[in-house]
Amino acid sequence: MLSEEIKEFLHKEALNRFLRYVQVWTTSDEHSNSNPSTQNQLALGKILASELVDLNLKNVVHDEYGYVYGNLHASVGLEEVKPIGYIAHMDTSPAVSGKNVKPVIHKNYDGSAIEFASNPDIKLTTEDSPKLTGYIGLDIVTSEGDTLLGADDKAGIAEIMATCAAWNKFSELKHGPIIICFTPDEEIGRGTLKINKERLPDFCYTLDGSEMGELEFECFDAWKAKIKFTGLSVHPGYAKNLLINAIHIASRYLSDIPDYESPEHTEEREGFYYLSELKGNVEEANAILIIRDYKEKNNQKRMEYLRKLGELYEHRYSGLKVNIEFLHQYKNMLRFIENKQQVVDLGKKAIEMAGLDIKIHAIRGGTDGSKLSEMGIPTPNIFSGGLLFHSRKEHIPTLALQKASEVLIYLAELWISA
């Protein structure tokens, strides 16, 4: 088991790095056609590549697409051990501002509501995040409330970097070959779009989960629907039987999607439709929905519903055109991992060795591991420790940063004899 000295080092190292990384603006942009989608992601990549070199990783590359790769050579005598990969993403969700993040540490959390210095209209309570009741006495990190925090996924990055720092400092920590990869644009579904598969080993782990102890190897089957409504503009004073108000009709169409199948009314294994964007005018309106379920056949039913609804609206409003484009974003990773049980079993054991209860959850979302597993590299998802991701109320206990780092060290030890 790890010494108290190593644990204290991991706690301090991961926290300090996390507090630095979240202040680098890395919001991704799904409307961009560039790779990475935003140039500011390159700033964090440059920092991480430099730090990997300082930690004695080899073959460190920060490529033109924003990916950062690095190889940690095996401990002496362990060169033939099967290599494993640790992956985290650099971008933050465009759902909430990630610019000028100012992290705040709330010392010795007492269970009361946490207030935000830059947003007095919101408070973080145990009703928002019931897991907080188990974190009383711990230090909790939030933003000031005018931005998200960025624990998704800069916590994962900090944990990987802290683990590399521990391997660099403590020679008694043994490991086989380790491959590190930091990706851009995961939040917009492009985290593996330009990834160099040749740089990755046969098995990887993403550090992109939520509460301490969590291990995930099942996720949503994910689709995106882009719906274009084309109408006809006519002066409203003379519009009877002529005007086709695209944005008004789009609003009605979207209101006909079952309310009980929205994210705010679903949980556990229930799928949903999620309207992420609606914009336009009288002549043209465009909506973006994401469609999620653990079973692809259920998503096919949802897509068929949208098609039939479009046909109904074209019939109801003569001259209206409804064009729907569906994009399959990623598949449920379970089908690619369930026959590779070793990668899951070692993850479970490493979490137990860190003194945590194992929490097996199906991800109500996806990770880079979803696509990597589909590409033939089984990649379960380990907790990074944050809660209420994509929110101004996003938070993380500092202990989670340490515990995730411990899990990575134990995982590397377990793979020595795998």
pTM: 0.92
Tokens of 412: 């590397």
Among left, alpha and beta (phi > 0; psi -120 to 50; other), residue 56 is: left
* Gyration radius of the chain over CA positions: 23
Report the alpha-carbon distance of residue 6 to residue 10 in Å, rounded: 6
What are residue 112's phi and psi, to 5 degrees? Answer: -85, 175
Does the domain formed by 221-330 have CATH 3.30.830.10?
Answer: no
Hey, how many other C-beta atoms are within 10 angstroms of the C-beta on 198? 5
Predicted pLDDT at 134: 95
The size of the chain, in residues, is 418
Average pLDDT over the chain reads 97
Catalytic entry in 13, 152, 159, 186: 186
User: What DSSP string runs through 72-95?
Assistant: EPPPTT-TTSPPEEEEEE--B-TT
Q: At what angle do helices 296-316 and 246-255 cross, to 10 degrees?
A: 140
| pLDDT reading at 418 higher than 90 | no
Predicted pLDDT at 248: 98
Catalytic entry in 13, 91, 185, 293: 91
Give, for 415, the enclosing helix (H) or strand (E): helix 398-416
Tell me what the mean pLDDT of segment 154-167 comes to.
Answer: 98
Domains 4-219+332-416 and 221-330 share a fold: no
Q: Is 186 a catalytic residue?
A: yes
Report the alpha-carbon distance of residue 396 to residue 135 in Å, rounded: 10
What are residue 221's phi and psi, to 5 degrees? Answer: -85, 130
What sign does the dihedral 293-297-300-301 (CA atoms) show?
negative
Look up residue 214 and give its amino acid: E
Place of tokens 């782990």: 205
Nearest to 105 by CA among 403, 399, 390: 399
Tell me what the mean pLDDT of segment 145-174 comes to.
Answer: 98
Tell me what the mean pLDDT of segment 255-270 comes to.
Answer: 96
| pLDDT reading at 16 higher than 90 | yes
Q: Which residues share a beta bridge with 292?
A: 222, 272
N-term to C-term CA, the chain: 18
Question: At 303, is the pLDDT very low, low, confident or very high (cuts 50, 70, 90)?
Answer: very high
Report the alpha-carbon distance of residue 15 to residue 279 in Å, rounded: 40
DSSP 232: B
- Asked if 370 and 219 touch (Cβ cutoff 8 Å), the reply is yes
Per-residue pLDDT tens over the stretch 369-401: 999 999 999 999 999 999 999 999 999 999 999
Per-residue pLDDT tens over the stretch 350-375: 999 999 999 998 999 889 999 999 99
What is the share, in percent, of the chain residues with pLDDT greater than 90? 98
Look up residue 395 and give its amino acid: H
Q: Which CATH architecture has domain 4-219+332-416?
A: 3-Layer(aba) Sandwich (3.40)
Nearest to 202 by CA among 55, 337, 67: 337
Residues 6+ away with beta carbon under 8 Å from 246 = 229, 230, 231, 280, 281, 282, 283, 284, 285, 320
Taking the domains of the chain in order of start, what are their residue ranges?
Answer: 4-219+332-416, 221-330
What torsion, rounded to 10 degrees, do the Cα atoms 135, 139, 140, 145 define?
140
Q: Is 352 a catalytic residue?
A: no
Question: At 331, is the pLDDT very low, low, confident or very high (cuts 50, 70, 90)?
Answer: very high
The burial of 255, by beta-carbon neighbours within 10 Å (0-12 exposed, 13-18 middle, 19 or more buried), is given as exposed
Q: At what angle do helices 398-416 and 341-353 cross, to 10 degrees?
A: 130
Tell me what the mean pLDDT of segment 68-93 comes to.
Answer: 97
